Amino acid sequence: MIVQEALMTWFEASGGSINPSIALAKDDEGGQHYRALEDIETPSSGGLQVCYCPFGLTLSHLNVTAKPPAAVKNCSQESVCSKLLGKIPTAAVSYFFLAEQRLKGTKSFWEPYIKTLPMESDMQTPLWFDEEDLKWLNGTTLRAHTTDPSKSGLEMRRGMWKDQWQQGLEVLKSDGENIEKFTWELYLWAATIFTSRSFTSSIMMPNEPDNFALLYPLVDSFNHQFASKVIWDMSNGNFALNITQPAKKGDEVFNNYAPKGNEELLTGYGFCTENNPCDVVAIRIGKPPEQVHAALRAQFPTRFSTPDWSPDEATFFLRGSNHYTGGYEDCSMPCLRGLPPEMYAAIRAILAFSYKPYLEAGEMTENDLDEASLQAIHDRLSEKRNAIILWNPQLAHQPQNQKQAYAKIYREGQLMILEEILGELDTRLEELSQDEF
């Protein structure tokens, strides 16, 4: 509690404020969070401000730029991280700067804030999993074993961060700086803090082409709940968080990070939500022939917007029936409720290209093409489901820690969505096969 009191003293002395109706709390499950000290009623318009953090308390690469915005603390003369600007990605500069501020201890302006941040032993994101924890991700998108492990989503992120860390060390070393203090574990800690607690600049600067992340002390201590109704006001870089729902004494008071599936929650924040109404399954499709890609770009110019088959274009998200949207609109068949229309269109176009001679010769009908497309999707989803199930016998009967418990929620959510959509496809394919007789 002494650490939290020091944080509040620093925060308020620097222009921040917390509504007296709430207070910081801490437990093993929720970490540092907020609870209502009394019953809270919210105004019918605009909600109730529960936290205000001025721009001057934020921590990001802006602090080491030569001319940061007027309100932002200028550390460019004292920080070695100013030497990294323009030489490594902006995000990596922010990670190095946070690591440097932690190393400075009481000499850092942000020391009261940094002392309350989760430390290495508290981290729950998969990059901090040990081998036993990682088993609970085997077969999923995060740790698929059908491809080179180094190409899994987890290892690609680890590899990217490690490359940026090494690039930063080389820059500092070439400038005569002591780099031994910037260990990989410290850098990984800083990167995890940013990905799990930061806010994007696009909210306060929507017209700027280059977005970046900022840490807003104390605003980042509100946990996420999708059902929570909140208002963010980031005028001039200051962050005011308003809640628009009443709360009972003792209730946790939440923020809302926007709709996020469990895969995104686990990798970015280190937790999952059971029966998550935003949960999805990511499916990637290989690059189609150029002629097919061009046709898709013409049909769906917003979805397929680049001449290359970028990762964003190649990835589609499946939704279960419990998704808050209920599924995708404009689906051509009820069995496609959980599939993006663009995904079905892409699969169908790829097959139409492959079967073009048969279609032109009249040996294959459009209905045949529909059935082949459904079967191709069924096969792909079956492969993904089976890849997860394959590893189930190697798992303990029950999770042994919180990391494994969250991974289990993620794993089971992926299977639930896949099984549901496969069942819908099975029903339709069975109907089509009966129509043939």
Residue 147 has pLDDT above 60, yes or no: no
Residue 43 has pLDDT above 80, yes or no: yes
Q: What is the rounded average pLDDT of the residues 175-187?
A: 96
Question: In the chain, what percentage of residues exceed pLDDT 70?
Answer: 97
Q: What is the rounded average pLDDT of the residues 306-335?
A: 90
Contact 145, 139 (CB under 8 A): yes
- How high is the pLDDT of residue 333? 87
- How high is the pLDDT of residue 26? 87
Q: Is 394 exposed, middle or buried (0-12, 13-18, 19+ CB in 10 A)?
A: exposed
Q: What is the rounded average pLDDT of the residues 107-118?
A: 97
More reliable by pLDDT, 209 or 224? 224
- Phi/psi for 49 (5° steps) reads -70, 125
Token pair in block for residue 298? 């013409």
Cα–Cα distance, 348 to 345 (Å, whole number)? 5
- How high is the pLDDT of residue 149? 59
- How high is the pLDDT of residue 1? 61
Alpha carbon 47 to its chain's center: 27
Closest residue by Cα to residue 320 from 406, 415, 247, 397: 415
Residue 184 has pLDDT above 60, yes or no: yes
Q: Where do you find CATH 3.90.1410.10 in the chain?
A: 2-260
Contact 262, 272 (CB under 8 A): yes
Q: What is the rounded average pLDDT of the residues 212-238?
A: 94
Contact 424, 337 (CB under 8 A): yes
DSSP state at residue 117: S
Residue 435 has pLDDT above 80, yes or no: no
Residue 269 has pLDDT above 70, yes or no: yes
- How high is the pLDDT of residue 366? 92
Residue with tokens 């499916």: 283
Closest residue by Cα to residue 113 from 193, 232, 203: 193
Contact 316, 344 (CB under 8 A): no
Q: If pLDDT is split at 50, 70 and 90, which confidence band does 297 have?
A: very high
Q: If pLDDT is split at 50, 70 and 90, which confidence band does 332 have?
A: confident
pLDDT digits (tens, 9 = 90+) for 206-219: 677 788 999 999 99
pLDDT digits (tens, 9 = 90+) for 44-82: 888 999 999 999 999 999 999 999 999 999 999 999 999
- How high is the pLDDT of residue 116? 95
Q: Helices 184-197 & 153-174, crossing angle to 10 degrees?
A: 120
- How high is the pLDDT of residue 145? 67
**Mean pLDDT of all residues belonging to the chain:** 93
Contact 171, 312 (CB under 8 A): no
- How high is the pLDDT of residue 311? 87
pLDDT digits (tens, 9 = 90+) for 366-402: 999 999 999 999 999 999 999 999 999 999 999 999 9
pLDDT digits (tens, 9 = 90+) for 341-350: 999 999 999 9
Closest residue by Cα to residue 421 from 351, 344, 368, 345: 344
CATH code of domain 2-260: 3.90.1410.10
Token pair in block for residue 278? 């935003």
- Which H or E element spans position 27? strand 22-27
pLDDT digits (tens, 9 = 90+) for 130-141: 999 999 999 999
Compute CA distances 153 → 127, 139, 213, 263, 366, whole Å: 10, 12, 21, 11, 37
More reliable by pLDDT, 170 or 433? 170
- How high is the pLDDT of residue 268? 93
- How high is the pLDDT of residue 31? 83
Residue 204 has pLDDT above 90, yes or no: no
- How high is the pLDDT of residue 210? 80
- Which H or E element spans position 23? strand 22-27
Any idea how long the chain is? 437
Cα–Cα distance, 232 to 213 (Å, whole number)? 16
Q: What is the rounded average pLDDT of the residues 246-267?
A: 95
